[in-house]
Chain A
Amino acid sequence: MNQTNSATKQFRTEIVISYVLRVGVILCATIIALGVLLTWTNSKSFDHFSEHTLPALTSGQVISDISFPQSAAEFYAGLTTLNPSVIIAFGLFLLILLPVVRVALTVVLFFLERDYAYLSITLFVLCVLLSGLIFGKTL
């Protein structure tokens, strides 16, 4: 493998990763902003936030009646009815997922480059990450 070839490949990997990150970040920001916008235009959810949640939040309380989607079904139901907090939660969920997607993407890219040393490294990191996510759920 000659030097130029290897340099071009590294370059391509970086372009793909940065492109995916940029698209991901813009997508998440748009979804979150849409959710915030809907909260502000929906007088019911806005009043609930400003009169109930905000005073409790800024006096150090733990909010007991907060509802957040925890399953795919709840996400689906909230998204199809344009529930503002479900839309925000979905955007945040995608944002949290982005670093994991980035690691998975590097696994694929190193595989395509037939760079087996780095393929095993990224695959190992992905496994640790996923086991941490699964482990974290039962914590």
Chain B
Amino acid sequence: MTSLLHPASSAGTFELFLLLVSGGAGVIGAILGLGGGVIIVPILTLGLGINIRYAIGASIVSVIATSSGAAATYVKDHVTNIRVAMLLEVATSVGALVGALLSTHLPEQFLYVIFSGILLYSAWIMMKKRHDAIAPLSDADYWSRRFRLSSSYPDRALGREVSYAVTHVPLGFSLMLGAGVISGLLGIGSGGLKVPAMDSAMKLPIKVSSATSNFMIGVTAAASAGAYYMRGDILPLLAAPVALGVLAGSWLGTHIMMRLHSQKIRAMFIFFLLIIAIQMGLRAFGVQVR
């Protein structure tokens, strides 16, 4: 522990290490529509020995920073589908509030098993869907037409504008309600559930799903961030390098993502879904990542 190379050996290396790790989390979070908690929490707890309370506080900051940092670019470049985001935020915000109210009445182990199972199932579904077949506009359902959800986005990897239809809105809405309940119950972001719900159920292109998930996760996290702050879980000198690193990383990540081919993003996403599933599975057996 006294080694000069250890991140905690001096305040300088500690802050620099946090800045770099958070930068990486920001890049990955922005590409995949996740908040980066999957990377930040284990590194802070297992790697640096920091109390889980502060690690979660820092990961909440990371989620919000990824969301706003990535959205600034994705919204401007018309990758985010704002209408889909606003409609689905009704489901996630109500779900999160219900989840927060329920939290004390259900055993956590059981929830982690369920969550882990859902993630594995999502990974399986996304793996089966090898090709990024865009649904034809005629596939748009009643709700999709009613709320004018179908749109288009510029795909830089393909070098053209891609038009897409949005389908199965009631299914997607229900899945988002579930994702909201899970984030309220477990106090975690649920980008890992939002992206598959949009990609596999509503047939949005993976890039639009990721950008739209990115847009949404900040709102859910902001709702609980106030409580974490008042409890003193958000330490300024821990959260500051995390916020700065993630903001820079997410900016970089958006530019990488827009140039990546959809298949690569999908493969990366499935890989990270499996990592989250393993983390949540371990928590179910009482292995708190600390």
Contacts and interface: CB of A to CB of B under 8 A. Distances in A.
Interface string A20-35: 0110110011001101
A54 B50 CA distance: 10
A132 B239 CA distance: 22
A121 B86 contact: yes
A38 B160 CA distance: 47
A24 B68 contact: yes
Interface of A: 10-11, 13-15, 17-19, 21-22, 24-25, 28-29, 32-33, 35-36, 39, 46, 49-50, 53-55, 57-63, 66, 68, 70, 85, 88-89, 91-93, 95-100, 102-103, 106, 117-118, 121-122, 124-125, 128-129, 131-133, 135-137, 139
Given A25-B69, A50-B11, A137-B227, A58 B50 contact: yes
Nearest to B234: A92
Interface in B213-239: 218-219, 221-227, 229-230, 232, 234-239
Contacts of A55: 8
B53 interface: yes
A46 B244 contact: no
Most chain A C-beta atoms within 10 Å of own C-beta, residue among B93, B224, B241: B93
A70 B240 CA distance: 17
Q: Closest 6 A-B residue pairs measured CB to CB?
A: A136-B227, A18-B76, A50-B11, A99-B218, A88-B236, A132-B223
A36 B244 contact: yes
Contacts of A32: 240, 243-244
A92 B236 contact: yes
Contacts of B223: 128-129, 132-133, 136
Size range of the interface on B?
35 or more
Q: Interface SS of chain B: helix, strand, loop or mixed?
A: helix
Interface of B: 8, 10-11, 14-15, 48-51, 53-54, 61, 64-65, 67-69, 71-73, 75-76, 78, 80, 82-83, 86-87, 89-90, 93-94, 96-97, 100, 146-147, 218-219, 221-227, 229-230, 232, 234-241, 243-244, 247, 290
A49 B15 CA distance: 11
A135 B98 CA distance: 12
A49 to B, nearest CB: 6
Contact of B219 (A15, A121, A129): A129
A53 B238 CA distance: 10
A49 B237 contact: yes
Contacts of A102: 68, 71, 218-219
Contacts of A29: 243-244, 247
Given A14-B78, A15-B76, A128 B240 contact: no
Contacts of A99: 64, 67-68, 218-219, 221-222
A118 B224 CA distance: 24
Contact of B50 (A50, A57, A70): A57
Contacts of B69: 25
Contacts of A97: 222
A56 to B, nearest CB: 9
Given A58-B50, A95-B64, A14 B82 contact: yes
